[in-house]
Amino acid sequence: MDVVWHNIPYLLIGAVTTLKISLIAVTFGIILGLFAGMGRLSSNKLVRFLATCYVDFFRGTPLLVQILIVYFGLPQLYGQGQTFLFIHFGVGHAVTTTQISDFLAAIIAFSLNSGAYVGEIFRAGIQSIEKGQREAALSLGMTPSQSMRYVILPQAFRRVVPPLGNEFIAMLKDTALLTVIGVEELLRKGEILNSNYFKPFQIFLSVAFIYLIMTLTFSRFVDYTERRLGVHDHN
C-alpha cells in the first residue's frame, strides 16, 4: 500500500485535471445545450432539423470515436498532409505530431458531446412546463421569447437540476476515455504509476476510489441543490 500512499498527490494532480475538463466542458455543454434544446423546439423547420442532427450524432455515436475525430481528425482538416498520423497512431507517435493539444481536444469533444445530452435535458425540461404557463404569459402581452425567458426557462431550470447533475457525473466518469489521447487525467496518472510499480490492483483500485469520492460528492451536492430549489416549485 505504500506505493499508493506515496503517490496520492500524483494521482490527485490527475484528479484535478479530470475535474477541470469536466467543469469546463459542462459549462460549454450547458450553453450549447440551451441552443440545442430550444432549437429542437423551434417553430423553424431548418433550425429544428439542424438541432436534431447535432443531438442525434453526438448521442448516437461512441464518445471514444468522437474524441478521436476531434483529436486526430480536426487537425487533418487544417491541411498539413496529416494522413500519416493515422498510420503512426497505432505505434503511439501521434501525440507528438498532432496540431491540437490533447487538453483542448478533450474540451471540444466533451463540450460537444455534453451539449447534445444537455440539449435533450433542456428540451424535456421546457416541455414539462404546463402549457397554461405560456398562455398566461402571452395573455399578459408578453412576446413568445419573453414568455420563454421570464416564465418557462426559470421553471425549467429548476426541474433540470437533477438530470443535469447526473449528466455531469456520467461525463466525469467518461473522461477516463481521454487516456487514449494521452491527457494526463486521473486514469492516465494511474497508468503511468502502474508502468513504474507494476501494482495494478492497488493502483487502479485507488484510482476508482478517487473517482467514487468525486462522484459521490457531486451527487450529494445535486441532492442539496435540488432541495433548495424545490422550495418554491409546486410539484
Partner 1 sequence: MTIIKVRGLHKSFGHLEVLRGIDLDVAEGEKLVIIGPSGSGKSTLLRCLNQLEEATAGSIEFDGTELTARKTDLPKVREHIGMVFQSFNLFPHKNATENITIALLKVKGMEKHEAERRALALLDKVGLSDKAGSYPQELSGGQQQRVAIARALAMQPRVMLFDEPTSALDPEMVGEVLEVMRGLTREGMTLIFVTHEMKFAQEVGDRVIFMDEGLIVEEDIPSQIFTNPTNARTRSFLSRVMK
Residue ranges binding partner 1 (CB under 8 A): 130, 132-133, 135-143, 146, 150-151, 154-155, 158, 232-234
DSSP for 190-228, written as a single string: HHHHHHHH--HHHHHHHHHHHHHHHHHHHHHHHHHHHHH
Q: Give least dist CB 123 to partner 1, A.
A: 20
Q: What is the rounded CA–CA span in Å between residue 118 and residue 124?
A: 10
Q: Residue 141 — left, alpha, or beta (φ > 0 → left; ψ -120 to 50 → alpha)?
A: left
Q: Give least dist CB 21 to partner 1, A.
A: 33
Q: Give least dist CB 83 to partner 1, A.
A: 54
Q: Between residues 140 and 216, which has the closer beta carbon with respect to partner 1?
A: 140
Q: Give least dist CB 151 to partner 1, A.
A: 6
Q: Between residues 149 and 220, which has the closer beta carbon with respect to partner 1?
A: 149
Q: Between residues 148 and 172, which has the closer beta carbon with respect to partner 1?
A: 148
Longest dimension (CA), the chain: 70
Q: What is the rounded CA–CA span in Å between residue 217 and residue 226?
A: 14
Q: Between residues 96 and 145, which has the closer beta carbon with respect to partner 1?
A: 145
